[in-house]
Amino acid sequence: MRKCIPPLLIVCLLSGFFLAYQLKIQTKNTSFNAISQRNNNLIAIIQDLEKESKNQENQIEAMRNQLNEMQNQNNQGKLQDLQIQLKKAKIDAGLTPVVGKGLFITLDDNKEGLKNAPTDDPNRYIVHSDHLLNLVNELKIGSAEAISINGQRLITTSEIRCVGSVIMVNMTRIAPPFEIQAIGSPKLMAESVTLGHLGILKTANYPISLEEHEEIIIPAYKGDLQFKYTSPQ
Amino acid sequence: MWFILPVLGLILGAYLGSTVTFQLPAIYLKYMSIAVLASLDSVFGGIKSIMEEKFDGTILLTGFFTNALLAALLTYLGDRLGVDLYYAAVFAFGVRLFQNLATIRHHFLINYRKKRSLRRGEKSE
């Protein structure tokens, strides 16, 4: 009997250690999920980065305002011509808030439809990036001069893309309900849109409204504009 | 009172395990549970072999480590292949635990009955 004690002691020691340790981990882990923990970290990172980009956008805006002030000073002689040209170029580029007659379109997910058919594919009831893209294209066909989606001004470099469950415009996340504002001939734009994608969405029972407004204010593009590779020919 | 020492070892191990503050990464939790099962299996296997009076320290120790290693390897392989081979190890250890416990119980019962019948025999004489 003496001989069997040391090995058994070792095994008992190890198993006691493992048992206690595992028990400790398990009791600690009941409210802890590795994946959700990771997600929380990612969410925190995203929020941080978004805050940072917002700060920098504000900085850009402040600098632009400063620049504007400088450009509006001492307007004499030839400078005045240049300033008028600059102003026009800025409006073209979408760097100034603009106002005018136009359309106001709101579009939301078809929540009612999904509620009535819970087993159906939810993809058929939410607003996708293609919907927005098509609507914007049709607004442009209808001679829209300035367009914004949820306050994001569309300029030459603006994208409308699908990133997982959100839509990004100007590298900013936007979420339903979507408000598309467009300055231009309300009649032409409304015609182009209702004959096109808006009609399709309407028949698919998406909650949509289309209003003609006398005064639509579209904000300036807030992001950065840098041309690294492009130069005038 | 030879069995006191292993029990003390168990208690000491448990104390060490509960005081250790080392944080294991979440991926290795599976391996940890396998280790627990392997060591429990070895403990009951050892007790069983003592009851059957064919205890061998080397067999017990090598069995413990090779079983744990094999189980860890199986778990790892399962993770790579996307098959939960981990359950095979859990199942094997579980079945063996039950079998060992059953044999230990049998032996206890048989020993107890033998003693009782011996005592009765003495009394009746």
Q: What is the DSSP letter of A223?
A: S
Residue-range domains of chain A with CATH:
95-218 (3.30.70.1880)
- Return the structure tokens found at B54: 């064919």
The count of domains in chain B is 1
Q: What is the ipTM of this complex?
A: 0.73
Asked if residue A189 lies in contact with residue A143, where contact means CB atoms within 8 angstroms, the answer is: yes
Q: Is residue B4 part of a domain?
A: no
Strands A152-153 and A172-174: unpaired
What is the pLDDT tens value at each position of chain B, 125 positions in all?
566 777 888 888 888 888 877 777 767 777 888 888 888 888 888 888 888 878 788 888 888 888 888 888 888 888 888 888 888 888 988 999 999 999 989 888 988 888 888 888 776 65
Q: Which chain A residues touch B31 with a CB distance below 8 Å?
A: none
| Helix, strand counts (H, E) of chain A | 7, 8
Report cis status (omega within 30 of 0) of the bond before A177: yes
Residue A151 backbone phi and psi in degrees, to 5: 85, 0
Please indicate if any CB of chain B lies within 8 Å of the CB of A22.
Answer: yes
Closest alpha carbon within chain A to B20: A21
Widest Cα–Cα separation across chain A: 113
pLDDT score recorded for residue A29: 60
| A195-221 pLDDT per residue, tens | 988 888 888 888 999 999 999 999 988
Per-residue model confidence as pLDDT tens digits over A170-192 = 888 888 889 999 999 999 999 99
Shortest CA distance from A33: residue in chain B? B26
Distance CA A225, CA A171 (A): 13
Is residue B31 situated within a structural domain?
A: yes
> In this prediction, what percent of chain A has a pLDDT beyond 70?
92
Is the CA virtual torsion A145, A147, A153, A158 positive or negative?
Answer: negative
pLDDT value of position B12: 87
**DSSP summary character for residue B67:** H
Q: Regarding predicted confidence, which is higher, A6 or A153?
A: A153
B62 at interface of A, judged by CB pairs closer than 8 A: no
Residue in B26, B42, B57 closest to A15 by CB: B42
Structural domain includes residue B109? yes
Q: Is A211 helix (H, G, I), strand (E, B) or coil?
A: strand
Angstrom distance (rounded) from CA A175 to CA A162: 11
Work out the burial of residue A127: count CB atoms within 10 Å of its CB; fewer than 13 is exposed, 13-18 middle, 19 or more buried: buried
Residue B15 domain flag: no
Residue-number span of the structural domain to which B54 is assigned = 25-124
Instruction: Determine if residue A127 is left, alpha or beta; phi over 0 gives left, psi from -120 to 50 gives alpha, anything else beta.
Output: beta
CA atoms within 13 A on the CB side of A118: 1
Give residue-wise pLDDT tens across range A46-92.
888 889 988 888 888 888 888 888 777 766 677 778 888 888 888 88
Is B82 a domain residue? yes
